[in-house]
């Protein structure tokens, strides 16, 4: 497959700004005319809408893409409860299988130049009840199967330095490529934000590529190393594997 260059976007935790970051970076990457796609393969936590449940992160991914994306490619598994995906999948009576996700990544990568794939929660969120249950057990294994370099979103709040360093270490211990990281200003009351950001810059193994926020002196809407971001985009997405009999996507 001659696919897009891209990144798998993971986070130090849930609620750190992965969706906001993917939308902002996707639009930036499309400014030079590149065909950009943003995918959210697994989503949990829906809001009521006029025509049934709606998933803000899926809608954000589709809106941030510069090419038309069918829902079946933008998202493969979606669950209404805002709970861990393995619990939501069990309640829905389905198993989260890699094949629908890898096939969607393959289809989209063949149509675009740059691809962002947003994970769910943090780097090691379970997708199955047990780690030895077979198949892809967590989001770390999903990232490995997709085969893109990782971009780590660090939510700037108390404890983020430890979370960021541990996550970066876990990524590298698995032999995955960490392409860089993004600072995400999620806590406007975060004390010593500038000093802690400087500590992260000094300790993280790779450079900070962006600083994302929602306004305020320590939370700019966007500060971006565009050249660094483009350079971080890795080789084309890995070819999707053949489907396994009996797999069944949800929705």
- CA 186 to chain centroid, in Å, comes to 16
> What is the token pair recorded at 156?
């700037």
Nearest to 43, CA basis, from 141, 149, 121, 136: 121
CA pair distance 203, 73, nearest whole angstrom: 37
Q: For tokens 């798998």, what's the residue?
A: 8
CA pair distance 24, 148, nearest whole angstrom: 19
The strand order across the sheet containing 114-118 reads 36-39, 114-118, 5-11, 150-155, 178-184, 208-212, 222-224
Q: What is the dihedral of CA 169, 170, 174, 179, to 10 degrees?
A: -60
User: Which of 40, 124, 128, 211 is flagged as catalytic?
Assistant: 40
- In the residue annotation, 18 being an active-site residue is answered as no
Dihedral sign computed on CA atoms, order 160, 147, 21, 17? negative
Q: For tokens 């994970």, what's the residue?
A: 119
Catalytic residues: 40
């Amino acid at each position: 497959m001659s696919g897009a260059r891209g990144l798998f976007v993971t986070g130090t935790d849930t609620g750190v700004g992965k969706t906001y970051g993917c939308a902002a970076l996707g639009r930036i990457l499309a400014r030079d005319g590149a065909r950009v796609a943003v995918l959210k393969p697994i989503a949990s936590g829906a809001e009521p809408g006029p025509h049934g449940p709606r998933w803000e992160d899926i809608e954000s991914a589709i809106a941030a893409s510069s090419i038309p994306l069918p829902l079946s490619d933008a998202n493969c598994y979606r669950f209404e409860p805002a709970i861990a995906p393995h619990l939501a999948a069990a309640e829905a009576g389905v198993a989260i299988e890699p094949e629908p996700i890898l096939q969607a990544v393959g289809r989209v990568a063949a149509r675009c130049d740059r691809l962002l794939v947003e994970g769910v929660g943090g780097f090691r969120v379970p997708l199955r009840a047990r780690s030895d249950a077979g198949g892809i057990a967590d989001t770390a294994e999903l990232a490995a199967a997709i085969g893109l370099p990782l971009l780590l979103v660090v939510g700037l709040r108390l404890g983020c330095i430890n979370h960021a360093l541990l996550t970066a270490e876990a990524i590298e211990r698995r032999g995955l490529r960490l392409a860089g990281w993004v600072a995400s200003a999620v806590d406007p009351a975060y004390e010593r934000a500038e000093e802690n950001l400087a500590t992260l810059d000094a300790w993280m193994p790779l450079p900070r590529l962006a600083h994302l926020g929602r306004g305020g002196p320590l939370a700019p809407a966007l500060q971006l190393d565009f050249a660094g971001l483009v350079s971080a985009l890795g080789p084309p997405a890995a070819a999707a594997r053949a489907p396994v009999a009996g797999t069944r996507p949800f929705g």
